[in-house]
Amino acid sequence: MSASAAAPARKPAAPAIFSPATLARTDALLRKMSLDEKLGQLNQLFQFRRSSKLDGMVRDGKLGSVLFVADPVEINRLQHLAVEGSRWGIPLLFGSDVVHGHKTIFPVPIGLAASWDRGMVERVSAIAASEARADGIAWTFAPMVDIARDPRWGRIVEGAGEDAYLNAAMATAQVRGTQGPRLGTPDRLLATVKHFAGYGASEGGRDHDAANLSQAQLHNVYLPPFRAAVKAGVGSVMSAYMDLNDVPATGNRWLLRDVLRGLWGYGGFVVSDNNAVNDLVSHGFASDKRDAAVRAFKAGVNMEMASYVNAYTHLRAAVDKGAISVPEIDAAVRPILATKIQLGLFDHPYSDPAKAREIAAQAPAHQEEARIAAERSAVLLRNEGALLPLDRSIHRRIALIGPMAHARQDILGPWVFAHDPKDTVTVAEGLRAKLGDSAALAVAAGVQLKRDAPSPFESIFKEKDAPTWDAARAAGEFDHALALANNADVVILALGEKQDMIGESASRSTLALPGEQQRLMERVVALGKPVVLLLMNGRPLDLAWANTHVPAILELWYPGAQGGAAAANLLFGDASPGGKLPFTWPRNVGQIPLYYGHNLTQDPSEQDRRYWNEPSSPLFPFGYGLSYSTFAVTDLRLSKPTLLAGESLAASVVVENTGAVTADQVVQLYIHQRHGSASRPARELKGFERVTLRPAERKTVRFTLGPEELSYWSSATHSQVNEASTFDVWVGTDAQAALSATFQQQ
Ligand code: BGC
């Protein structure tokens, strides 16, 4: 192998977040402020209900930000206290987790990622931002870009899955949609990229457990989506809860200073995750709250998010003792004030009822986008005998069975606060609206789902479902569902996980369908009717049995408020599924972690890599998804056979719709570097494009491969390298694409 050429340090050229005018105004303000007023800006508190304690803190300038106040009237009341009651009239920054919609609920992030549609993701992020801003919220704690390679981890639902490139693309789209072309764009929000960094690699998929990642894994896999968000101009970064290589992320100077600010040139501020500064003591890292405050501050946490008491109240004593200097405090406060100025909060601190009415009037258009987003997120996993789309002339008696059939809350997924349940279209309602009198629709839940241990968020997300059925009712409902199924031309099984079975503090040790759903499915299939499995979930579930016994499987994720309308369109062919898996779907939980971007072994046949009782291959590969049409991807061309390190080459393919209906395909490009200073993954995604094609229509799709795609962080040189080597290129419709070419880099 030839010597590796050191690539220039990876400077993402983070754009300047603040205008010169903003910075001048910030410094003028900072010069006037007392130390205590400056320190106040570093505190953020949870607030669900009105409290006199909070009012006093706001008036005294002891808070810079509040999160979770949802009522626009209360937001304005507090803002009046801040602006009119405090000495310099510094507005509060109201934050909330606007994760996949505010009033209008879109598919959960893992579903949006499955659309592989940057433009759509940018649009829905912009809609969510406009609705939240109209309510007085100026800051969202999204996007989450944590790479998730262990689906036991509940928060897999909040990100874009296992892949660095897809996560980076989604992060860019979400930041652009949320913030607009620059921070301070009207009707948009300040975005937060979280949780910096490595949270998705927590051991055993247990939430908040330690993550141990090599420098190469960090630089090549876990950090790139954050870097992409910084490059897209994200205005805030949230530090993670867990230990990263024995140093909690919230006290991790290497992450927060050396990488984020030093290597990437990030100029915005860092907020801790909730109570993460206080928790430096529980981690066994800081000796007490004061030590925790000083170490988080020194590590680079500007603002502390806390539920009850901020550890940062100890910073005053630390300054008095000389442990922290006033210029250090100024440096921490500056980007927070600059953000408030740049967001326009000093000029327009209050939410405007006229603006709120204007945004509310767009609700029908937003719901339409939500339906389109749900359709574009859906992934068709199996379709034996082209059972889907259903045929109205044959499928006249339909049984919709399963706990997700009527789900009004669970169809939305986690992180939903401001939505009106009346706006939700359930699957049963969507089908009824589509079919009218043309078909008989019978609906039964069959089984009930319930978490064994209650969710710690039960009170926040206000679980509204019916009480647990007793044994007699459960048996009756089960038999009733089977009777309905037995009387139908086709059975649609709506199964999955309740929204509190996924998300934060919702890890699972199994991927089995929860509750009695597997038994229900097996009994329904035994009736011998055509069965469609409609899934609502946020992690891969154990479909090994379903994949051999159920002819059609359609993954909807948690599709959001228009999920029922989208499901009906997809089931009856008014929309064709075109989504693709954002993660590798394992055969069973014992294969975890299973991801396509693993390194090769010494054995090219992969014989050694398999389990003796199970292949090492997935049930469905990353990037996989079927369509109601068929496609051919041909004619892979590279613009040159050889290039010099630092140059770029172009790759192109022709994709053709060879089927009978207009449909979408996601063309994906993967590479492999054959040799180098370090082993490289078997395949890595380095480009994709979703295209819509009419029958017989062809399109040329082009990709560029240059230093950004071809360089990597080498464990041998401890640096970013762009090496002389042979590269394989594959282009196709999932991570097992066969159409290939090679080129040399010199
Ligand atoms: C979560 C964050 C979230 C914050 C505020 C934390 O528990 O980890 O993702 O933004 O709460 O809701």
DSSP 676: S
Q: Which two tokens stand for residue 260?
A: 């984020």
Q: Is the pLDDT of residue 3 over 80?
A: no
Question: Phi first, then psi: what are they for 648, rounded to 5°?
Answer: -120, 155
Nearest CA to ligand 1 atom 6: 274
Residue 334 makes CB contacts below 8 A (sequence gap 6+) with 26, 27, 30
Cα distances (Å, whole numbers) of residue 730 to 120, 270, 313: 26, 39, 55
Q: Exposed/middle/buried for 677, CB within 10 Å: 0-12, 13-18, 19+? A: middle
Res. 456 pLDDT band, cuts 50 70 90: confident
**pLDDT at residue 53, as a whole number:** 87
Q: Is the pLDDT of residue 10 over 60?
A: no
Could you give the CA distance from residue 631 to residue 78 in angstroms, rounded to a whole number? 57
- The mean pLDDT value of the chain amounts to 95
Hey, do 97-142+162-168+343-580 and 631-745 end up sharing a CATH topology, with the first three levels equal?
Answer: no
258 catalytic residue (yes or no): no
The torsion defined by the Cα of 701, 707, 709 and 712, in degrees rounded to 10, comes to 170
**pLDDT at residue 589, as a whole number:** 97
Say which CATH architecture domain 631-745 belongs to.
Sandwich (2.60)
**Ligand 1 centroid to 240 CA: how many Å?**
9
Res. 607 pLDDT band, cuts 50 70 90: confident
Mean pLDDT of 307-325: 97
**pLDDT at residue 460, as a whole number:** 65
Res. 2 pLDDT band, cuts 50 70 90: very low
Mean pLDDT of 248-260: 98
H or E stretch covering 224: helix 224-231
Res. 453 pLDDT band, cuts 50 70 90: confident
**Ligand 1 centroid to 333 CA: how many Å?**
22
Res. 84 pLDDT band, cuts 50 70 90: very high
Residue 490 contacts residue 529 (beta carbons within 8 Å)? yes
* Candidate from 21-30, 277-286, 450-459, 590-599 with smallest mean pLDDT: 450-459
**pLDDT at residue 462, as a whole number:** 58
**pLDDT at residue 689, as a whole number:** 98
Nearest CA to ligand 1 atom 2: 273
Please, how many CA atoms are within 13 Å of residue 286, restricted to the half-sphere of its CB?
25
With a threshold of 0.95, does the pTM exceed it?
Answer: yes
Q: Is the pLDDT of residue 4 over 50?
A: no
In tens, the pLDDT along 273-287 reads 999 999 999 999 999
Mean pLDDT of 517-541: 98
Report the Cα–Cα distance between both ends of the chain, in Å, rounded.
Answer: 11
Residues enclosing ligand 1, CB less than 6 A? 97, 141, 194, 273-274, 504
Q: Is the pLDDT of residue 8 over 90?
A: no
Atom of ligand 1 nearest to the CA of 142: 10
Q: Is the pLDDT of residue 323 over 70?
A: yes
Q: Looking at the chain, how many residues does it have?
A: 746
**pLDDT at residue 504, as a whole number:** 96
* CATH (one of 3.30.420.130, 3.40.1180.10, 3.40.50.1700, 3.40.605.10) for 97-142+162-168+343-580: 3.40.50.1700
Residue boundaries of the structural domains of the chain:
33-95, 97-142+162-168+343-580, 631-745
* Candidate from 30-34, 67-71, 206-210 with smallest mean pLDDT: 67-71
One-character DSSP codes across 705-728: E-HHHH-EEETTTTEEE---EEEE
More confident residue, 7 or 36: 36
Proportion of the chain above pLDDT 90, given as a percent: 92
DSSP 261: I
**Ligand 1 centroid to 162 CA: how many Å?**
21
* Candidate from 354-368, 606-620, 715-729 with smallest mean pLDDT: 606-620
Q: What is the largest CA-CA distance in the chain?
A: 81
Q: Is the pLDDT of residue 458 over 80?
A: no
Per annotation, catalytic residue among 97, 146, 150, 273: 273
* Candidate from 5-14, 121-130, 182-191, 398-407 with smallest mean pLDDT: 5-14
**pLDDT at residue 464, as a whole number:** 55
Could you give the CA distance from residue 52 to residue 64 in angstroms, rounded to a whole number? 17
Res. 465 pLDDT band, cuts 50 70 90: low
In tens, the pLDDT along 622-651 reads 999 999 999 999 999 999 999 999 999 999
Q: Which of 144, 194, 273 to mutate to test the pocket of ligand 1 (most atoms within 8 A of CB)?
A: 273
Atom of ligand 1 nearest to the CA of 194: 9
Q: Is the pLDDT of residue 365 over 60?
A: yes
Number of other CB atoms surrounding residue 519 within 10 Å: 13
Number of other CB atoms surrounding residue 384 within 10 Å: 13
Q: Which of 94, 96, 97 to mutate to test the pocket of ligand 1 (most atoms within 8 A of CB)?
A: 97
Mean pLDDT of 86-100: 97
Residue 114 contacts residue 582 (beta carbons within 8 Å)? yes
* Candidate from 94-98, 352-356, 368-372, 393-397 with smallest mean pLDDT: 352-356
Residue 303 contacts residue 334 (beta carbons within 8 Å)? no
Could you give the CA distance from residue 527 to residue 483 in angstroms, rounded to a whole number? 10
Residue 370 contacts residue 568 (beta carbons within 8 Å)? no
- What is the b/e burial string over 147-163, where b = at least 16 CB atoms within 10 angstroms of the residue's CB? bbbbbbbbbbbbbbbbb
Could you give the CA distance from residue 140 to residue 43 in angstroms, rounded to a whole number? 17
* Candidate from 469-478, 486-495, 562-571, 705-714 with smallest mean pLDDT: 469-478
Look at residues 496, 519, 520, 489 and name the one whose alpha carbon lies nearest to residue 399. Answer: 489
